Amino acid sequence: MSNCFNLSDMIDIEWSKLPFAYFKTDYNVRCYFRDGQWGEIEVSSSEYINIHMAASALHYGQEAFEGLKAFRGVDNKIRIFRWEENFKRMERSAEGVLMAPVTKDVFHDMLMKVVKLNEKYIPPFGTGASLYIRPLLIGTGPCVGVKPADEYMFLIFVGPVGPYFKEGFNPVAIQIARDVDRAAPLGTGTYKVGGNYAASLGSGERAHHEGYAACMYLDAREKKYIDECGPANFFGIKGNTYVTPKSSSILPSITNKSLMTLAEDMGMVVEQRHVPVEELKEFDEVGACGTAAVISPIKLIQDRETGEVYNYCKDGNVGPISTKLYNRLRAIQYGEEADKFGWVKIIE
Ligand code: PLP
Ligand code: COI
């Protein structure tokens, strides 16, 4: 295989119509932790893994994953966004559920390798699509008693994706689910582990059936404060202030962290604090943010239990600050704006 990517290598995909979904590509990369150390990186073209039926990942939820993206820039270069943050978060998640953490070198080398190997699946600049990268760490050692495994598998697969919410950068409707807790205040909510997503599946699917893009979860203890929005953090704009929840049960979003930096850079005040549900009345603009969701502006939030409805984007348009934040984030990711915060790794 050539190391050099030519436009003629492009495959026939309707890039701008891609949903956010699994897409088979040519290769994934794998590495195994055995006898107390990580082994050699392996390249595979199989979509399947062969693991022990008593693997701790299957029984006791010893698993963590990540989500990051690679972009083909305006200059045709490949840019990976803030991969070291994803590495650090995966390290924390691994420690949170007692898995062997992947080393930074293994994470880095596998990431670069899998992106290069699947280069032809990186959507062209201008299509709005990107390459979603999914690192996955699982306990593979057999466990019947409840305990951590002694063997692990780390793999990364990738696939081209479009927007997470079909609306793209158009306003979505969100439903507050008071009858479900996604994560407990001192639980696993800050780790990117599968159990948190299992806990959100029922309320998420119900929200979809009832016409909403996602659920908004409130803090589990008091049901007073906003936690997060399905697979994304929440933010609200009030005048010149960017407000986002501080909570011990939400995933620390790398997108949100980036938006906070951009907001400050734009001269805004940033507040990371408890956000009472009633404050929803006071925001000029609200949105959900994440790697998959980027920024999804919110037009309506309905409290399923109380019936209260909060409306935004009343003229049908996305608010000016959300638009500006979205444009700047995208411009950095696609190499249209200087990477002054050092967020982007260019792969030659
Ligand atoms: N919250 C949850 C529960 C998520 O799954 C995600 C996605 O990763 C986010 C927030 C956003 O995090 P990030 O911006 O790092 O993708
Ligand atoms: C992401 O934004 O990267 C996510 O992981 C969200 C979701 C697909 C789980």
Instruction: State the Cα–Cα distance between residues 138 and 62, nearest whole angstrom.
Output: 6
Per-residue model confidence (pLDDT) at position 12 = 85
Q: How far is CA 162 from CA 18, 228, 230, in A?
A: 5, 22, 18
Those residues whose C-beta lies under 8 Å from the C-beta of residue 101, and which sit 6 or more positions away, are: 90, 91, 94, 95
Strands (E), 8-83: 28-34, 37-38, 42-44, 63-65, 68-72, 78-81
Q: Tell me the best of 133, 291, 333 to mutate to test the pocket of ligand 2, counting ligand atoms within 8 Å of each CB and taking the most.
A: 291
DSSP secondary structure code for residue 306 in this structure: T
Contact in structure between 29 and 156 (CB atoms under 8 Å): yes
Could you tell me the two tokens for 315?
């003229």
Which residue shows structure tokens 């991969």?
Answer: 83
Measured from the Cβ of residue 124, the count of other Cβ atoms closer than 10 Å reads 13
Running DSSP on this structure, what letter comes out for residue 250? S
Residue 188 Cβ contacting ligand 1 at under 6 Å: no
pLDDT score of 75: 96
Ligand 1 centroid to Cα of residue 318, in Å, is 22
List the alpha helices (DSSP H) in 17-145: 56-60, 83-96, 104-117
Cα-to-centroid distance, 43 and ligand 1 (Å): 27
Distance 157 CA to ligand 2 centre (A): 14
DSSP 135: E
Return the ligand 1 atom nearest residue 196 CA: 3
**Which listed CATH number (3.20.10.10, 3.30.450.20, 3.10.129.10, 3.40.50.300) goes with 172-332?**
3.20.10.10
25 contacts 13 by C-beta, under 8 angstroms: no
Ligand 1 pocket test, candidate residues 20, 84, 89, 233, most atoms within 8 A of CB:
233
pLDDT at 166: 79
pLDDT value for 10: 63
Domain ranges of the chain: 2-162, 172-332
Reported as type and span, the H/E element at residue 294 is strand 294-303
Give the whole-angstrom CA distance, residue 267 versus residue 241.
9
Ligand 2 centroid, distance to 72 Cα (angstroms): 20
Q: Give me the residues paired with residue 276 across strands.
A: 225
The ligand placed nearest to the CA atom of residue 250 is 1
Which residue has the CA at smallest separation from atom 11 of ligand 1? 290
**Ligand 1 pocket mutation pick from 226, 251, 296 by most atoms within 8 angstroms of CB:** 251
Report the top-level CATH class of 2-162: alpha beta
Over its length of 348 residues, how does the chain's per-residue pLDDT go in tens digits?
A: 334 444 445 678 999 999 999 999 999 999 999 999 999 999 999 999 999 999 999 999 999 999 999 999 999 999 999 999 999 999 999 999 999 999 999 999 999 999 999 999 999 999 999 999 999 999 999 999 999 999 999 999 999 999 888 777 889 999 999 999 999 999 999 999 999 999 999 999 999 999 999 999 999 999 999 999 999 999 999 999 999 999 999 999 999 999 999 999 999 999 999 999 999 999 999 999 999 999 999 999 999 999 999 999 888 899 999 999 999 999 999 999 999 999 999 997
Atom of ligand 1 nearest to the CA of 255: 14
CB of 135 closer than 6 angstroms to any ligand 2 atom: no
What is the position in ligand 2's atom list of the atom closest to the CA of 66?
Answer: 5
DSSP helix/strand/coil, 45: coil
Give the DSSP per-residue string, 266-288: TT-EEEEE--BGGGGGG-SEEEE
**In angstroms, what is the span from residue 166 Cα to ligand 1's centroid?**
17
Instruction: Please give the Cα distance from 260 to 262 (Å, whole number).
Output: 5
257 in active site: no
* CA gap 124, 120 in Å, rounded: 9
Angle at 135 between CA 131 and CA 137, to 5 degrees: 165
Query: Which position among 88, 120, 192, 246 bears the catalytic label?
Result: 192
67 touches ligand 2 (CB under 6 Å)? yes
**251 within ligand 1 shell (Cβ under 6 A):** yes
Whose alpha carbon is nearest atom 1 of ligand 1?
232
3-state secondary structure of 333: helix
Domains 2-162 and 172-332 share a fold: no
Distance from Cα 260 to the centre of ligand 2, integer Å: 19
Q: Is 230 in the pocket of ligand 2 (CB under 6 A)?
A: no
